Chain A
Amino acid sequence: MQKIEAVIQPSKLDAVKDALVEIGVDGMTIFEARGHGRQKGHTEIYRGREYSVDLLPKVKLEVVVRDEMLDKAVQAIIEAARTGTIGDGKIFISKIDEAIRIRNDERGDFAL
């Protein structure tokens, strides 16, 4: 099992979600996040006052998939979230040792 964590533009959330559902990934966890990578922040001036926009709003999405689904899922996210400009986000992948469904103690791939 693999965990995919994707930090994406909030406006791309629906597209990414739909793309994942389409390939059969229907469980996911979504976080409202703030942060920056190379995109960095900037300063906005509003009515004479300065507001620093150093942490940008992002959405972080976590899905755990069976090993064979990994490439498909990653590709789906990339295609749906890419605009080609700076700030599109990042994807992190890590290995998951075990998954347990609390309700009935199912384990492994069955629990996904």
Chain B
Amino acid sequence: MQLAEGYAGSWLRNLGFATETSMQTNESTARELRSKYLRRMLEIRGAFETGASGSATLGARTAAMDELVQGLWQQAVESDKRLASGIAVLAIGGYGRRELFPYSDVDLLYLLDARVAERDVKNSLRRISQELWDGGIRVSPATRKVNECERFAEENAEFTLSLMDHRLLIGDAALYNKLAEETFPRLLERERKAVVARLMQLTVERHAKYGDTLFHLEPNIKDCPGGLRDVHVCSWLATLQPATDRNGSGSLDDSEFRQAVEFLKLVRCFLHYRHQRDDNTLDWEAQDAAAETGVGLAGSRPPQADAAYWMRFYFRHARSVERNVKQRMEDATPASAPSKLLGFKRIRKQELASEGFRVERGRIALEPVTKGANGLFSDPANDPGVVLPVFTAMAQTGAALSSDTEERLSQALPLLSNNLEEGPTLWNHLQQILTGRHAGTALRAMHTLGILELLIPEFHGIDALVVRDAYHRYTVDEHTFVLIDTLHRLEGPQTGSIAEWATRFGALLRELPHPALLYLAALMHDTGKGRSTGNHALESMRMAQSVVGRLELDSYESGLVLGLIGNHLEMSAALRRDIFDAETVEAFAGKVQTPEALRMLTLFTYADINAVHPDALTPWKAENLWRLYMATANFLDRSVDEERVSAQEESELVHRVAALLPGRKSDVARYLEGFPERYVRTRSPEQVRTHFAMAERLAEDKVQLDFRYSPTMSELTVVTPDRAMLFANMTGALAAWGMNIVTADAFSNRQGVVVDSFRFTDTFRTLEMNESEHVAFTKSVHDVMAGTVSVETLLSGRRKGRRKAPKVVVETRIEFDDEASSHSTLLEVIAQDTPGLLRGLSLAIAGQQCNIEVALIDTEGETAIDVFYLTHGGTKLEKAEQKKLREEMLVAVEENVR
């Protein structure tokens, strides 16, 4: 206020000097104009603070500016008659659009007729700019001849773009009309393609600068994706569209979009007044202030309107703008020339049609609504059997939804929720979406449309959630999607500074038997942040518990998912300790417990660090992560035999099992005694209970089998008294049925009861194609184990198929270690994974009269990694025995490969 009064006061004083020269009169008039403008600015601010809309504020500043510029111009013409004709003053850019934000630059264009020489008028024009600068206005003046406006320069596309919003302020109207009606339309006609291409390129680059996401914790509301700049891009692209396809999709009139634009304008005014300059960063303090005053909440401010609530409001609007701009950009991409810019090239090749929808030109469109024979209309948008595959197609191809499809899907939500099936059907669809290369794209679209929350309501709590720390850059939901994107990027070839490590971690990812579980855990890992209990890992795990229950994951799978979520911070925590210290490794190994869980947690941690912000994962961190992984993996294999459950064990593990069998605690303890702890840790209490029950039935039948079939990975557990050749016969029986053993372990307790579990794939789909064979399969395994059928008979019925040449040749490595265990010799075999290999190895072991105390069988791609803890006559193997066994093993591997 003081400033305005100061100017007004000096102006009043100047009135006393009526006899001054015309120059001085001019000066005082200029001051008068400026002070009037400044008074107007104060009034406009006052109006804004008492509730004027964003548009009204912009319009008012524009009008005040118009008056000021016009006044200054008239005054300039009076003192320099050369300005009187052949010059037009134009407002361009934001000013041309009548969108002058409180501290925005004022773009002026002095348009000159061909006859006017710039140097003649230069000084007068400069004086006008000077006056504006003195009034505290940031003016960006440009002087151009009409014919210069017809040129399009790629490196200065901004000028052509700002010219699209031109408006005559004052001056030569005929000259202006020439530009507006002839010159500029001609330019657009001629250079349309180049302008569109450049505009799209600038937009893509700008989006990339902001990590291609609008979900920043402190977004720049002008330049971020979904910001006001994108609103301009929408309107420019609409103007640039050839008149013939102006009826295209993605309407600028859609009310949601209009509301979003109005909201963004309001917020930008708010920020300008707050920062007192053209600073468009919605920082934390500004978020608090906006929530406090309820900016844009239109009087309906609910009591819980804290900054997080308000930011969700912001993100919803930004999302609507982003959707619109994406749509516009895609519409503007020519069909014949796939744009490398937008990465559609690959997608276009994959045209595909499925029930209820088709993929064309990188867009997914639902089939139209049809009228059935019963006279009822049926819309594929209501059918989960169509909708979920739509997102699978999205995840696989990276294609976007057409606007009609988006519209119909969001309207179909209530009906869709009625028709939705849970359990294995839903899990099946989700798996396909999660493991698709473009899962992030599909999940984001599902999240935007509310479909993800429909499937997993637990996700709602972290919708656009801002958790303030100086480390994370994105909102919690976006962080989750970036994490999933990072994992998928590990699948392809790697470049950049961490390529070396990404390649190693990529190999781990490819070797995961159940990648979908990792992705599910990733999706759920931060959902607990929506509840402020302080321990979000635990809270997320609780929430995921009901999710895995609804999806009906089996206990092994849910154990992996829940364990990963609950432990998701453990590896990062271990990295802060001395990773070369055996104790750190041991403590960490105790938390992850199995190699599969370790692999998943390692990959998860890699992606989690990377999703915090783009530079968070340095080669240094990647190397440390790899070291810790390696040390822990080695430890897990080498420590199994030492830690056995003792008779007086009162651990949580024993209690959990005992709780399932009331009154049988001492029997349970007797059963568990002598098992390696790994057995109890890697099984759920329910599984241990099943095995316990099987052990109790051994009196009736000394071979107890538990078979769980699954098309991807079946599991067979045998509980039986220990005896020679046991492991060899079991592997032989599975090989005879053509089953490929992926992982296995064999443990025994003090009483000599053996629990061997095999997880295998059905290479020839015998079990998948013939359900009747399930019974025959278990019977046959049973008979071999019971000794009524010899495994040789079974194997002889199997013709040896021709082996495919391996993709990677693995060198055989056989190592003995007497240090790892106090009473067994550890044998580690690394070899080319071939069917029947395990049978060959276990025969060689049995041939040397060695007893397998523990076996851990694992496969990584083409490499078989088998660890056996062996004894001979109850003690460790002598050096001579080791030498003999090594030779036998080499022969076995050699013969099997042939």
Contact = CB atoms under 8 A, between A and B. Distances in A.
Contacts of B578: 9-11
Contacts of A110: none
A53 interface: yes
A47 B623 contact: no
A105 interface: no
Nearest to A13: B576
B620 A47 contact: no
A5 B245 CA distance: 66
Contact of B623 (A9, A14, A44, A57): A57
Contacts of A92: none
B722 interface: no
B863 A48 contact: yes
Interface in B564-623: 576-581, 618, 620-621, 623
Interface in A1-27: 9-11, 14
A44 B860 CA distance: 18
A32 interface: yes
Interface stretch (B73-81, B184-192, B539-547, B626-634): B626-634
B566 to A, nearest CB: 24
B830 A47 contact: yes
A34 interface: yes
Q: Is the interface of B mostly helix, strand, loop or mixed?
A: mixed
Contacts of A9: 578
Contact of B577 (A11, A33, A48, A51): A11
Interface string A55-85: 0110000000000000000000000000000
B579 to A, nearest CB: 8
Nearest to A87: B580
Interface string B627-649: 10011011000000000000000
Contact of A46 (B576, B618, B633): B633
B865 interface: yes
Nearest to B813: A48
Contacts of A10: 576, 578, 624
A53 B579 CA distance: 13
A10 B631 CA distance: 17
Interface residues of B, number: 23
B830 A44 contact: no
Contacts of B618: 32
Interface residues of A, number: 17
Please indicate which of the listed interface residues B579, B620, B813, B865 has the most CB atoms of chain A within 10 Å of its own CB.
B620
Contact of A53 (B581, B627, B830, B860): B627
A48 B307 CA distance: 53
B11 to A, nearest CB: 38
Nearest to A53: B627
A110 B810 CA distance: 64
Given A11-B577, A32-B618, A44 B630 contact: yes
Nearest to B581: A11
A34 B620 contact: yes
Contacts of B627: 44, 53, 57
Contacts of B633: 46-47
B623 A34 contact: yes
A34 B169 CA distance: 64
Contacts of A46: 630, 633-634
A57 B577 CA distance: 12
A44 B865 contact: no
A76 to B, nearest CB: 20
A47 B623 CA distance: 17
A96 to B, nearest CB: 27
Contact of B631 (A32, A34, A44, A47): A44
A34 B621 CA distance: 11
Interface in B808-859: 810-811, 813, 830
Given A9-B578, A11-B577, A53-B627, A48 B865 contact: yes
Contacts of A11: 576-579, 581
Nearest to A56: B580
Contacts of A57: 579, 620, 623-624, 627
Contacts of A34: 620, 623
Contacts of B810: 48
A26 to B, nearest CB: 17
Interface string A86-111: 01000000000000000000000000
Interface of B: 576-581, 618, 620-621, 623-624, 627, 630-631, 633-634, 810-811, 813, 830, 860, 863, 865
13 contacts: A10-B624, A11-B576, A11-B577, A34-B620, A34-B623, A44-B630, A44-B631, A46-B630, A47-B633, A48-B865, A51-B630, A53-B627, A87-B580
Interface of A: 9-11, 14, 32-34, 44-48, 51, 53, 56-57, 87
Given A9-B578, A48-B863, 6 more contacts: A33-B620, A44-B630, A48-B810, A51-B630, A53-B627, A57-B623
